[in-house]
Amino acid sequence: MRHFSVAITSLTIFLSSLMFSLSAQANQPVWCDEALSEDEKVEAILSQLTLEEKVKLCAAQGKFTTPGVPRLGIPELWYSDGPHGVRAEINWNDWGYAKWRNDSVTAFPALTCLAASFDPDLAYLYGQSLGAEARYRKKDVILGPGVNIYRMPLNGRNFEYMGEDPYLASVMVQPYIRGVQENGVATCVKHYALNNQEIDRGHINVEVSERALREIYLPAFKAAADAGAWTFMGAYNQYKNQHCCHNEYLNKILKEEWAWDGAFITDWGGCHDTEQAVKNGLDLEMGTYTNGLTSESKFDYNHYYLADAFLQGLRNGKYSQEQLDDKARRIIRLLLRTNLNSHRPWGSLATGAHAKAAQKIAEGGMVLLQNKDNMLPIVKAPKRIAVIGENAIRNLMQGGGSSELKPKRVITPLQGIKERFPEAEIVFARAYDSGKAMYSNEGKPTHNLDSLHAEAVRAAAQSDIVIFVGGLNKNHKQDCEAADRYSYELPFNQPKLINDIAAVNENVVVVLMSGNAVETSWAPKVKAIVQAWYAGSEAGYAIASVLSGDVNPSGKLPFSFPKKLSDNGAISYGQLSYPGDGVKQVYMEDILVGYRWHDTKKIPAAYPFGYGLSYTTFNLSNARCDANTYASDGKIQLSIDIENTGSRDGAEVIQVYVSDVKSSVARPYQELKAFQKVFLKAGEKQTVSLTIPVSSFAFWDETSSSWNTEAGDYMLRVGNSSRQISANIRVKVKAE
C-alpha cells in the first residue's frame, strides 16, 4: 500500500509539473490558466518549489510582509492592521510610522458599533468598503475582524469585537468577510481563541469547560470558517498549556473538524517553539523576537522559529515533507486568492462613497439608552446649546493599539452639531483633559482640571440644552490594546461633571463614545443618553443626525451594561476568574456570559443585551409558528406582525430567544437564536418571517463530545430586547 501511495504521489507531481510546463510554454503563468482548478494550480506551483522556497513562505521578511517566490514571479504578501480601516504604513523593520503622504484612509466605526446595528446588510457594506481601501493600498491580508466574546467590561480590546453573544457575532461576521474578500483581500479572523482580556495576555493559561468553549467562544470562529475566511490569527494566551498560535487542540478543531482550508497566522510575536509550530498547525509566523507591540528585534528573520530552525529540522529528518507541504499549500492557496488573482478589482481609497458608508454604519449602530420627556430629537434648535466634554473634539482614531488609524478627515461631534444647528449659538467647554493618546502610558493633562470643570458648569448654567460628549477614549487603560481598564466608572471625573452640570441645567443629553459598558449611576440626573461608540471618520455627522432626528436611532446593545461591576459573571467569582493569578485563570461563570448570566441569576442589568429605544413606537403581535412539533433536523418558520404605531419612520429589531423548558443539563434562561431588523414607515405594518433551525437548540454534550438537541418542550420568546418579550410560543422537539 505504501509503494502504491508513493507511486500516486509521484504521478501527481509529474502531472503537476507537466501542467506547469505547458502553461509556461503558452507564455502565461500557471495561475492564469483558467482551465485549472484552484487545487490543480496549488499542486502545480508546489511541485516547482525547492525545499528552501517552501520554508521561506512560512515566516516574515518584514514587519508586515512575507516572501513570495521571485524565481517564479510570485510576489510577496502584504498585511495591514485594521478591523476598522487600513492602518498607516509601518516601517519595514520597526514599529515606527513611515510617514507616507498617500496612506490616509476612511475610518469606519468600531466593530461594537457594527454589531449594535443588528444589520447584516451593513456588515456587508462595511466589508466591501474596507476591502476596497485595503486593495487600493495594495494589501493582501487585512488583520480583522475580531470575534472574541465580550466576557466582561474591562477588556481593553472589547471595542474591536462584536459583543457578548455568539449568535449575533456569527451572523454579523459572515457578510463582513464576504464583502472584504470580494476585493481579493483576505480577512484574518482573530484572535483564535479565548483572548478575552489584555492583562497577562502573552502567557495566561485559560481554563474553560468544553461546553463553554463550544457554546460561547468558538461559534463565531466556526461561522467565519464556514464563510470561507482565507486566514485566521492565533491568540497570544494559552489554552491547555499550549500557546494558541500553535495549539494542537484548537487547530484540530479548525483544520480537521471544520475542514477549513485557509492559512493560520500568528499574532505578532505569538510563536514560541519550532516543534509546536510545525506540528500544531501554524502556517505563517509574524513578529517573532519582539514583544508583539513595541520592542524592535535584534535578530535576523532567519532566526524565526519557522525559518532556519524549521529548515534544519527538515534536513535532518526531525520534521516531514508532508508537514511542510501542508503549510506551503495553504500559503499558495492564499497567494492564488489574493495577489495571484488577476481578476481582483483595483479598489478605491477614502472616497465619498466610503464616507457615506461609514456614516450609515455609525447611524445604524447608535443606541438610544434613555429619553425622558422626549428630550430627543432636537427638532428645533434652542437659542443656546452647550457642547461639553473632551470627546466632542478628540480624534478617537488615535491610540487604541494596532487599530489606530490615519483618517483622511475626522468630523468631530462639535463640528457635526455646529453644522446641523447653524441657527443656534454653540458654546464649547472641554470639561476634562485626558492627555495625549498613548499606547503604553497614560496621557498627562496639560490644562488645569479645576478650571475646566468650573468652565463647563458655567456654560451649562447659561445654556438651554447641554450635550455632554464623554465616555472613554483609546488611551492606555481605557479602550486600548495591551492593558485592561482600571475602573468600571467613567474616567476623568466625568460622573461628578455630569451630576454638577445636571444640577444647573435640567436638559442634559449625554453622548457616550466608547467600546465598552460603563457604570451609569448618574443616569437618573439626565434626560437622554445616546451610546455613540467609536463612530469613525463621520462620527460628528452621524451623532448630529441622531440628535436632530434626521435619523431615527435603531441600534441595540450587543452587550449588557451591569449596574455595578460585581454584577458581571466573570468578575463576581473573584481574582482567579478575572484577571487570574498571573499563571492561569478559570472561566468560573462557564456558559453564563453576559445576558445569560443576568437572566439566569436574576441580576437585572442597567441596560440589557438587545436593548435600544426609538423616536417612534412599534407593536409586535400575532406571533405564530408553522407547526407545534418539529424533528431535531427541522426548521421552524416563525411569523410575527410588526406595526410602526408612531409618527416617525424607523427600524425595529425583532429578536427571538429560546429556552429549554426541561433539560438534562443546566442551561441559560434563554439564548438568542434569530433576529431581523425591519424598516417601517410611520403607520406601516408588515408580517415578518424568521427561520430557526431546530439544531440551534442543541447544547454541547460533554459525555458524548457532540451536539445534543434533546427532545422535549422549548419556549420561543419573541421581543425587541432580551428583557422586553412580547410573545411566548411553546414548541415540541420530537425524539428521533
DSSP 253: I
Instruction: Specify the DSSP element, H or E, that contains 730.
Output: strand 724-733
Q: Are 179 and 131 in contact (CB under 8 A)?
A: yes
Determine the Cα–Cα distance for residues 733 and 603; give it in Å rounded to an integer: 30
Q: Which residue has the cell 458599533?
A: 113
Instruction: List, in sequence order, every residue forming a beta bridge with 658; answer none if it has no partner.
Output: 671, 716
d(CA 274, CA 280): 10
Please answer whether residues 674 and 625 qualify as being in contact, where contact means their C-beta atoms are separated by less than 8 angstroms. Answer: no
List, in sequence order, every beta strand (DSSP E) within 103-185. Answer: 141-143
Active site residue 267: yes
Q: Is the distance from CB of 404 to CB of 159 less than 8 angstroms?
A: no
- The active-site residue out of 267, 567, 599, 660 is 267
Bond before 579 cis per omega within 30 degrees:
yes
Is the distance from CB of 147 to CB of 169 less than 8 angstroms? yes
Name which of 223, 168, 148 is nearest 610 in CA terms. Answer: 168
Number of Cβ within a 10 Å radius of residue 325: 15
With beta carbons less than 8 A apart as the criterion, state whether 573 and 582 touch.
Answer: no
Are 629 and 732 a contacting pair, CB within 8 Å? yes
* CA 385/CA 388 separation, integer angstroms: 9
Q: Which residue is it, cell 437659542?
A: 383
How many whole angstroms separate alpha carbon 362 and alpha carbon 358?
6
Q: What is the DSSP letter of 200?
A: T
Could you tell me if 221 and 254 are in contact, meaning their C-beta atoms sit under 8 angstroms apart?
Answer: yes
Provide the 8-state DSSP code for 59: B
Would you call 733 helix, strand, or coil by DSSP?
A: strand
95-102, long-range: CB < 8 A, 24+ apart = 95/63, 95/290, 95/293, 95/294, 95/296, 97/406
Cell numbers 478575552 label which residue? Answer: 196
Helices (H), ranges, 476-606: 494-504, 539-548, 569-572, 595-601
Q: How long is the chain?
A: 736
Going from the C-alpha of 696 to that of each of 130, 142, 600, 636, the distances in angstroms are 31, 31, 19, 11
Upstream peptide bond of 191 is cis (omega within 30 degrees of 0) = yes
Residues with active-site annotation: 267
